[in-house]
Amino acid sequence: MIANRIAYGETLIELARERDDILILDADACKSTGTLQVCRQVPERFIQCGIAEQNMMGIAAGLAMAGKVPFVATFAVFTCMRAVEQVRNAICYANVNVKIAGTHAGLETGGDGGTHQATEDIAIMRSLANMTVVVPATPNATRKLTRAVAQRPGPCYIRMGKDPQPELYAPEEDFPIGGSRQLRDGRDLTLVACGNMVWRSLEAAKMLETHGVSARVLDLYSIKPIDRDAIVRAATETGGLISVEDHNIYGGLGGAVAEVLTELAPARLVRMGLQDVFGRSGNPDKLYEMFHLTPEDIVSTALNRFPKA
Amino acid sequence: MYSVEELRKMANTIRYDTLKAIHVVGSGHPGGCLSATDILTVLYFHTLRIDPKNPKWPDRDRFLLSKGHAAPALFAALAHRGYFDIHELLHVRLHDGRLQATPNLTIPGGDSVSGSLGQNLSIGVGYALAARLDHKDYRTFVMLGDGELEEGQNWEALMSAPAFRLGNLIGILDNNHVQMCGTVNEIMPCGSMADKFRAFGWQVVEVDGHDIAALIRVFDALPNRPEGAPTMIIADTVKGKGVSFMEGKAAWHGGAPDDEQMKQIETELGGGTL
């Protein structure tokens, strides 16, 4: 198993070798973000900006205005908060071709604690006009989505965690932006998840089967644009939805799903995620238990909140 | 090639047209426009390698106005240089014009976005890096305000440009000594900027920002090299320059002259195009 951020770095090396316009920018986090391998293998495409995320976003904007396709990566907290106004004005308002990777999102950041665990980044990034937001669940999905954002004009944000993720997809599977993947069909309820909550939801669906509950599992890897049709189908074909995300329940995946449901297909939605609290230091496995984001928690939520299911 | 006298006249026209537009639309930032006008005039009518008929010419010099609230003066310079009709300036900041309050990429001649202070030196670093990577010899000019230097991002950028050895990057400090709520010395006194720039590794040139001939000499002497120390031109200026009742007054950072004041401006500047 490898982490999504490692698959991201590997894909950037391929892209840098395939295309002349790809550059990789770092703010002294490349040992963590997965781009150290880029620095070593294609050093002529690697720009070290130092611990200065605001300047890095501005440099990326300038490079993009001059026709380059810069990929910037750092911890998700710094992409969307330390440098958010640069992302908004220099990148999104200018509508230039900058690709932003936020790694160490969510509780997986573990020991580094609450200051380093981005639990607001989806909400912040998707509220910026012109921005595309994707959250890959696995290394193969990361590879495809890294290529997809490289192809897509305009600002894009790709969210990744820290830890190795089990592979759920064959290498040739496609991940068009604006789409979703149904990993399992079901009729009683739908678990909609992104990132590291997808495999947990899949585990939960298997456990729910032993309780006689048939759960559909959707990987909503494209948060913006979002697959409205898949959400509407989940609402009309199953008995309700549970959104599961390693993020505050406000404004992220659950918020995005709620918006679609409210406008197009009102249905019961229960949002799982951080219940408007910050994370804390700890072993990630323990943290997911503490914050009720394990497969078992998804099962009990399904059974308690959808008793008829 | 324009003579010094012709450039002086152009600067006056830009001053008048800028103030007339601000008067007509009822809002703007006269003080910071007027301090920057002589520099903008020399850049657009003497120094920059540009082609108004081909605004996106890949080999053009780039100009980034980091103190974006001086946009009306930049727009007036662009219009008189031939990028668009000067009468568009009468709709600046209004819903029915394409000229927004601050520069963006959608206007002819627009090389950046600004308005939020402190951001364009970083973007200039990006342009200068791209020029070197593409083996192009265009230069990138970034105009900063002295009040604006209070924004921390500038210092990240000031640190990075010498580290990247961006000899093709030129900063211009419109050192007008006044910001919105008072003088720079009242708001955040911090000593010699020249010393700070030098300490960061910039080559520093100091000039009177209203002396057209001196500005020409400084710009003509600039190096253009892909590698080397970046250059910072500290242009000493007067906020509100050219209009007696605006000069040195923080009160004229933002606002619009009324009918009576516009008459005096016409008397002092001798009128313009608008």
Residue ranges of domains in chain A:
2-165, 181-305
Residue B223, pLDDT score: 83
Residue B260, pLDDT score: 98
User: Which B residues in the span 209-248 are in contact with A, Cβ-Cβ below 8 Å?
Assistant: none
Residue B226, pLDDT score: 83
| Residues B73, B89: Cα–Cα separation, whole Å | 9
Tokens read off for A99: 């690709």
B99 neighbors B89 (Cβ within 8 angstroms)? yes
Which of B104, B130, B140 faces A68 most closely, judged by CB atoms?
A: B130
End-to-end CA gap in chain B: 25
| Residues B116, A91: Cα–Cα separation, whole Å | 13
Enumerate the β-bridge partners of residue A156.
A99, A132
Residues B229-261 have pLDDT tens digits of 999 999 999 999 999 999 999 999 999 999 999
Which of B113, B127, B163 faces A89 most closely, judged by CB atoms?
A: B113
Enclosing domain of residue B172: 4-269
In a domain, B75, yes or no: yes
Which of A65, A89, A93 faces B127 most closely, judged by CB atoms?
A: A65
The region that residue A11 occupies, defined by phi over 0 for left and psi between -120 and 50 for alpha, beta otherwise, is: alpha
Strands A215-219 and A181-184, by their bridges, are: antiparallel
Q: How many angstroms separate the most distant Cα atoms in chain B?
A: 54
Question: Is any Cβ of chain A less than 8 angstroms from the Cβ of B157?
Answer: yes
Model pTM above 0.90: yes
Instruction: Choose among A88, A71, A95: nearest CA to A160.
Output: A71
Residues A113-159 have pLDDT tens digits of 999 999 999 999 999 999 999 999 999 999 999 999 999 999 999 99
* CB atoms closer than 10 angstroms to residue B255: 17
What is the interface pTM, i.e. ipTM, of the complex? Answer: 0.95
A54 neighbors B122 (Cβ within 8 angstroms)? yes
Do residue A52 and residue B126 have CB atoms under 8 angstroms apart?
no
Q: How distant is the Cα of B50 from the closest Cα of chain A, in angstroms?
A: 15
Domain A181-305 of CATH type 3.40.50.720:
no
Residues A80-94 have pLDDT tens digits of 999 999 999 999 999
Residue A308, pLDDT score: 66
CATH of residue B226? 3.40.50.970
B58: exposed, middle or buried (C-beta count within 10 Å: 0-12, 13-18, 19+)? exposed
- Give how many domains chain B has, as a whole number: 1
Tokens read off for B271: 């009128």
A293 neighbors A273 (Cβ within 8 angstroms)? yes
| Residues A117, A105: Cα–Cα separation, whole Å | 6
As a three-state string, the secondary structure of chain A is CEEHHHHHHHHHHHHHHHCCCEEEEECCCHHHHCCHHHHHHCHHHEEECCCCHHHHHHHHHHHHHCCCEEEEEEEHHHHHHHCHHHHHHHHHHCCCCCEEEEECEHHHHHHHCCCCCECCHHHHHHCCCCCEEECCCCHHHHHHHHHHHHHCCCCEEEECCCCEECCCCCCCCCCCCCCCEEEECCCCEEEEECCCHHHHHHHHHHHHHHCCCCEEEEECCEEECCCHHHHHHHHHHCCCEEEEEEEECCCCHHHHHHHHHHHHCCCCEEEEEECCCCCCCCCHHHHHHHCCCCHHHHHHHHHHHCCCC
Residues A234-272 have pLDDT tens digits of 999 999 999 999 999 999 999 999 999 999 999 999 999
Enumerate the β-bridge partners of residue B144.
B173
Percentage, residues of chain B above pLDDT 90:
98
Instruction: Choose among B235, B239, B241, B262: nearest CA to B251.
Output: B239
Do residue B126 and residue A61 have CB atoms under 8 angstroms apart?
yes
Do residue A94 and residue B129 have CB atoms under 8 angstroms apart?
no
Q: How distant is the Cα of B168 from the closest Cα of chain A, in angstroms?
A: 14
Taken in order A180, A185, A189, A193, the sign of the CA dihedral is negative
Q: How distant is the Cα of A263 from the closest Cα of chain B, in angstroms?
A: 30
- pLDDT higher than threshold 70 for residue B109: yes
Question: Is any Cβ of chain B less than 8 angstroms from the Cβ of A253?
Answer: no
| Residues B13, B108: Cα–Cα separation, whole Å | 20
Can you tell me the mean pLDDT for A6-25? 97
Q: Please list every residue in chain A whose beta carbon sits closer than 8 Å to the beta carbon of residue B60.
A: none
In a domain, B176, yes or no: yes
Do residue A59 and residue B160 have CB atoms under 8 angstroms apart?
yes
Which of B123, B134, B152 faces A58 most closely, judged by CB atoms?
A: B123
Residue B255 DSSP class: -
* CB atoms closer than 10 angstroms to residue B258: 10
Percentage, residues of chain A above pLDDT 90:
98
| Residues A115, A104: Cα–Cα separation, whole Å | 11
- pLDDT higher than threshold 90 for residue A307: no
Residues A35-59 have pLDDT tens digits of 999 999 999 999 999 999 999 999 9
| Residues B209, B89: Cα–Cα separation, whole Å | 24
Enumerate the β-bridge partners of residue B233.
B172, B205
Count how many residues are written for chain A. Answer: 309
| pLDDT mean across residues, chain A | 97
Q: How confident is the model at residue A309 (pLDDT cuts 50, 70, 90)?
A: low
User: Which B residues in the span 50-69 are in contact with A, Cβ-Cβ below 8 Å?
Assistant: 58
Buried b (16+ CB within 10 A) or exposed e, B94-129: eeebebbbbbbeebebbbbbbbbbbbbbbbbbbbbb
3-class DSSP state of B34: helix
Q: How distant is the Cα of B147 from the closest Cα of chain A, in angstroms?
A: 19
Instruction: Tell me the catalytic residues of A.
Output: 53
Instruction: Choose among B128, B167, B119: nearest CA to A56.
Output: B119
Residue B224, pLDDT score: 80
- pLDDT higher than threshold 80 for residue A280: yes
| Residues B159, B200: Cα–Cα separation, whole Å | 6
Q: How many angstroms separate the most distant Cα atoms in chain A?
A: 60
Task: Please name the fold of domain A2-165.
Answer: Rossmann fold (3.40.50)
My answer on whether omega of the bond before A225 falls inside 30° of 0, hence cis, is: yes
3-class DSSP state of B157: helix
Residues B27-72 have pLDDT tens digits of 999 999 999 999 999 999 999 999 999 999 999 999 999 999 999 9
- pLDDT higher than threshold 70 for residue A98: yes
CATH topology agreement for domains A2-165 and A181-305: yes
| pLDDT mean across residues, chain B | 97
Residue B225, pLDDT score: 85
Percentage, residues of chain B above pLDDT 70:
100
Do residue A66 and residue B130 have CB atoms under 8 angstroms apart?
yes
Can you tell me the mean pLDDT for A283-306? 97
Can you tell me the mean pLDDT for A190-196? 98
Q: Please list every residue in chain A whose beta carbon sits closer than 8 Å to the beta carbon of residue B159.
A: 50, 52, 55
- pLDDT higher than threshold 90 for residue B267: yes
